[in-house]
C-alpha cells in the first residue's frame, strides 16, 4: 500500500496537464483502478486483516482524491497566471489613432478665412448656387448686352419651350449674395459669403466649379482706406507673415466704382512661393466701392450709405498657401491626394490656436 501511495502521489505531483490527471484518477481510483481492485480483495480477507486494511485503503483513496483535486487546482491557477502574463496590456497607453478622413484644403482655408474675418466683425452670409439671371447679373449692374456676361462663360439652365423668361444660371460669382444680404439685412452690414461658383472653363488653373469668398461692408463713411486696411490685416493673418505689401491696381467691374485688383508682393525662389518679400506680384482678388446702382438693387439708399466689396478665389489662395500645383486635383477625390494635402479632422483653425497645423 505504501508503494501504491508513493507511486501515485509522485505521478500526480509531476502531471503536466488535466488530461494526464484524469488518466491517473482512472488508473488509481476508477472502477477498475488499482485501489478499487485492492478494495475488492478485502472480501477475501479474514475479519482481523480487513479491520486493518479497510480503513488504510479508504484513507489512501481519500489521500489520492485530495492530491488529484489539489493538483487540478494548481494547474488551473498556473494556466490563469500564464494567461494574465501573456495577455498583459498597458491600459494607460493612448488610444489607437484611427484616421477617419481628412479635411479638404478648400474647407480648411474657408474656415481660416472665416476665422480671420469673424475677428474683424464680419458675419457669414449665404446664397443659392442656382441663381436667377437678375441676382447674378442685372442687380450687379451687368445688363443683358454687357460683355461681362459673355466673358463669364455662364452655365444656363433650361426653360420649358415657350417660356421666355430668362433662364436661371449657376452663379458665376458670389457677388449675388451681396444683393440678397442687402435686401435681407439692410444697412449697416458687414458680411463675408464663401461658396461654390461655376464657369465653363477647364485647365491647370481653372475648373468648371470653384470657390470664392465675397466680402461686403456697408456703413455711412466707409472708404477705400477701410478696404485697404481690412485686406492687409487679412493677408498678414492668412499667410502668417508680419508684414506684407499690397498693390491696388485700377481695374473695372460693373458693380464697383472705383474698382481695384489687389496683388501681393512675393517671391518664387526655388519654385516655392514666399509672401511679403521679393520682386513679384501676385493677383489675389477683385474689389472696389459698391456701385450706387448695386446699393439700389439691394434696397439701400446710395445717398445715405456706401461701402466696399471684394471677391477672392478660395482655391487660388489655398494653392498659394499650401503649395498645391494643380487646381484640377482639388476635385478628383483621389484619396492619396486628400491624405497628402488634407488636414487632421480635429484641428479647427482659430486665431488664438493657430490657423494652419
Closer to ligand PHE by CB, 198 or 310: give it: 310
Closer to ligand PHE by CB, 137 or 253: give it: 253
Closer to ligand PHE by CB, 222 or 355: give it: 222
173 binds ligand PHE (CB under 6 A): yes
Is 203 buried (19+), middle (13-18) or exposed (0-12) by CB count in 10 A?
exposed
Closer to ligand PHE by CB, 105 or 215: give it: 215
175 binds ligand PHE (CB under 6 A): yes
Segment interacting with ligand PHE (CB under 6 A) among 263-271, 284-292, 318-326, 346-354:
284-292
Cβ contact 127:174 at 8 Å: yes
Residue nearest to ligand PHE (CB): 311
Among 33, 286, 307, 349, binds ligand PHE (CB under 6 A): 286
Closer to ligand PHE by CB, 29 or 131: give it: 131
> Of 291-310, which residues contact ligand PHE (CB under 6 A)?
309-310
CB of 257 to ligand PHE, least distance (A): 10
Segment interacting with ligand PHE (CB under 6 A) among 25-33, 82-90, 286-294, 334-342:
286-294
The full 3-state SS of the chain, as one line of letters, equals CHHHHHHHHHHHHHCCCHHHHHHHHHHHHCCCCHHHHHHHHHHHCCHHHHHHHHHHHHHHHHHHHHHHHHHHHHHHHHHHHHHHHHCCCCCCCCCCCCCCCCECHHHHHHHHHHHHHHHCCCEECCCCCEECHHHHCHHHCCCCCCHHHHHCCCCECCCCCCCCCCCCEECCCCCHHHHHHHHHHCCCEEEEEEEEEECCCCECCECCEEEEEEEEEEECCCCHHHHHHHHHHHHHHHHCCCCCCEEEEEEEECCEEEEEEEEEEEECHHHCCEECCCCEEEEEEEEEEECHHHHHHCCCCCCCCEEEEEEEEHHHHHHHHHCCCCHHHHHCCCHHHHHHHCECCCCCCECCCECCC
b/e per residue 99-111 (b: at least 16 CB within 10 A): eeebbbbbbbbbb
Closer to ligand PHE by CB, 207 or 256: give it: 256
Binding residue count for ligand PHE, defined by CB under 6 A: 10
Among 33, 176, 195, 311, binds ligand PHE (CB under 6 A): 311
CB of 344 to ligand PHE, least distance (A): 32
Q: Is 34 annotated as a binding residue?
A: no
> Of 229-268, which residues contact ligand PHE (CB under 6 A)?
253, 256
135 binds ligand PHE (CB under 6 A): no
CB of 288 to ligand PHE, least distance (A): 5
CB of 178 to ligand PHE, least distance (A): 7
Among 127, 288, 307, 349, binds ligand PHE (CB under 6 A): 288
CB of 351 to ligand PHE, least distance (A): 24
Closer to ligand PHE by CB, 141 or 287: give it: 287
List of residues contacting ligand PHE (CB under 6 A): 173, 175, 253, 256, 286-288, 309-311
Binding residues for Mg(2+): 257
Amino acid at each position: 500500500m505504501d508503494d501504491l501511495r508513493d507511486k501515485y502521489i509522485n505521478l500526480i505531483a509531476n502531471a503536466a496537464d488535466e488530461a494526464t490527471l484524469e488518466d491517473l484518477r482512472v488508473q488509481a481510483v476508477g472502477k477498475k483502478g488499482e485501489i478499487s481492485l485492492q478494495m475488492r480483495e478485502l472480501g477475501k480477507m479474514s475479519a482481523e486483516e480487513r479491520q486493518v486494511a479497510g480503513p488504510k485503503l479508504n484513507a489512501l483513496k481519500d489521500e489520492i482524491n485530495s492530491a488529484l483535486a489539489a493538483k487540478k487546482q494548481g494547474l488551473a491557477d498556473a494556466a490563469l497566471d500564464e494567461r494574465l502574463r501573456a495577455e498583459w496590456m498597458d491600459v494607460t497607453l493612448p488610444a489607437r489613432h484611427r484616421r477617419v478622413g481628412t479635411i479638404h484644403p478648400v474647407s480648411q482655408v474657408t474656415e481660416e478665412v472665416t476665422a480671420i474675418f469673424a475677428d474683424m466683425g464680419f458675419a457669414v452670409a449665404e446664397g443659392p448656387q442656382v441663381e436667377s439671371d437678375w441676382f447674378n447679373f442685372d442687380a450687379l449692374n451687368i445688363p443683358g448686352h454687357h460683355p461681362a456676361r459673355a466673358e463669364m462663360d455662364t452655365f444656363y439652365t433650361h426653360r420649358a419651350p415657350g417660356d421666355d423668361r430668362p433662364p436661371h444660371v449657376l452663379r458665376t460669382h458670389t457677388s449675388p449674395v451681396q444683393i440678397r444680404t442687402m435686401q435681407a439685412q439692410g444697412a449697416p452690414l458687414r458680411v463675408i459669403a464663401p461658396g461654390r461658383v461655376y464657369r465653363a472653363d477647364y485647365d491647370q488653373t481653372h475648373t468648371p466649379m470653384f470657390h470664392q469668398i465675397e466680402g461686403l461692408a456697408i456703413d455711412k463713411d466707409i472708404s477705400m482706406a477701410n478696404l485697404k486696411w481690412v485686406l492687409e490685416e487679412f493677408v498678414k493673418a492668412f499667410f502668417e507673415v508680419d508684414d506684407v505689401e499690397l498693390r491696388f491696381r485700377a481695374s473695372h467691374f460693373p458693380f464697383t466704382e472705383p474698382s481695384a485688383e489687389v496683388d501681393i508682393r512675393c517671391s518664387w525662389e526655388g519654385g516655392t512661393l514666399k509672401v511679403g518679400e521679393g520682386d513679384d506680384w501676385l493677383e489675389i482678388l477683385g474689389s472696389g466701392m459698391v456701385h450706387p446702382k448695386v446699393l439700389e438693387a439691394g434696397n439701400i439708399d446710395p445717398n445715405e450709405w456706401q461701402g466696399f466689396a471684394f471677391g477672392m478665389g478660395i482655391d487660388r489662395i489655398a494653392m498659394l498657401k499650401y503649395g498645391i500645383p494643380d487646381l484640377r486635383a482639388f476635385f478628383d477625390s483621389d484619396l492619396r491626394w486628400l491624405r497628402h494635402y488634407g488636414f487632421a479632422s480635429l484641428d479647427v483653425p482659430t486665431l488664438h490656436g493657430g490657423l494652419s497645423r
